[in-house]
Amino acid sequence: MSVSTTRFFDNNSTLFSKINDELKSLQGQVGTGKAELKLSENITDISKLSAAEEKKSETSQFLGNSKRVQSDLEFLDVAFDRLQNSLVRLQELAVESANDTLLAEERQRFVQEAQMIKSEILDVANQKDTFGNNLFGGVSGVETPFEINSDGKVNYLGSSLAKEVQVTEALAVKQNFSGFDVFNNIKNENGSFSVFEVVDDLISSLEIDLNSNISSNIFKTSTSAVIKLPSTGPESRMALSLNIDAIRIDIDDVFYGNDFSELVDKINSYTAETGLTASLVGDNQILLEGDVNTLTVSDFTHYGDDLEQPSIEVLSEKDGTVLQSISEDALMSSNITEKITDVFEHLSSKRAEVSANSRRAQDSEMAMQDLMITLEEDISEISDADLASLITQLEFLMTQKDAAQATFTRITGKTLFDLIG
């Protein structure tokens, strides 16, 4: 009969269980190389580790943002390169077409090329990145930020705010641009305009007959005619020339509130030489009469900005229908080329913004990579196990366990007779 008690057995079972748990923990730490942190013993290390892991997660997000935004900015840089190339060709087109000796077929060829350039600019304006996000839609989620209507006018449907991405706690960089800011808000001394308006102006100037700045003989079939002048608004400067047989009358005055009495007076001041008289008949209309063989109107220029296509109209005296229309100088090449230059400089400025944002993103990526290395070192220092110490503890516990087992076996193996003897 063995000598034993329930209490003695329970105590030893608890001891063996505790030793086994400690051995299991040590073996796990040796196998994984990671220390097992306990709240009761390592509260400071646990707190530091938690903060470091949180910071690492945040830094990883910033690092990912920096890499993603650099990819987006590369798309933008290519897009701006395409736009600038289109503007260079448009400028060449404007210069080449500023020629009053062009044939109608040549003008039509220039019109077609200008329309192709407009389509290419529109294509770039609606370009997307590899994730399907608009490069020039701003923060809006519209499918197509720029749409062309039935009249050929391009409208912007996106946002006026650019999308930004946080690359550090204190720094955000642009991920895309507002199409309004890039294409529709180009400024010069006369205000703001859009790149599409400039292309449309060039197309319109080419579609107007270059000879439309001079009328045919108004008095070819009669000795009187009615001309209608464009509205002056509150105030407007206007210039034109009347060619009466061999005499030319040049008019260049400022008119107020559609009052053309001074123009009539000037024409009548030449009546003795020309035989032509003028009188107001209302609604911006002037009746011209006289014994004149040839009368033409030329070199018309309207300096007001309230009318898109101002013109002088020759009306039928019978029913008021328009017989002729004398428009401004069709090409207005200097004005258009200046605007194209303004657009190019504007796009260059925006492309410089792309480069600046890309540099910020690259600097952020490098800083975040350095921070990640530091954080990983800190985390490793806290969480990595001390293998030498663990192996020493493991050997000690195994020795302790073997000794305890041997003692338990010897004691539980004795009988009452062994103790009496």
pLDDT band at 324 (very low <50, low <70, confident <90, very high): confident
| pLDDT for res 211 | 47
Distance CA 261, CA 282 (A): 11
Residue whose tokens read 């300096």: 303
Domain 57-207+334-368, CATH: 1.20.1330.10
Residues 106, 124: contact at Cβ < 8 Å? no
| pLDDT for res 180 | 95
Tell me the pLDDT tens digit for each residue of 194-244: 999 999 988 877 776 544 567 788 888 888 999 999 988 888 898 999 999
| Residue 302 backbone phi and psi in degrees, to 5 | -115, 120
| pLDDT for res 412 | 58
pLDDT band at 365 (very low <50, low <70, confident <90, very high): confident
Residue 359 burial (CB count, 10 A): 13
Tell me the pLDDT tens digit for each residue of 107-145: 889 999 999 999 999 999 999 988 888 999 999 888 899
Which one is predicted more confidently, 371 or 237?
237
For residue 51, pLDDT over 80 is answered with no
For residue 331, pLDDT over 50 is answered with no
Tell me the pLDDT tens digit for each residue of 9-44: 556 566 556 656 665 665 565 555 565 545 445 556
- Highest mean pLDDT among 64-73, 296-305, 323-332 belongs to 64-73
For residue 342, pLDDT over 90 is answered with yes
User: CB-based contacts of 333: which residues, under 8 Å, 6+ apart?
Assistant: 94, 95, 97, 98, 205
Domain with CATH 1.20.1330.10 in the chain: 57-207+334-368
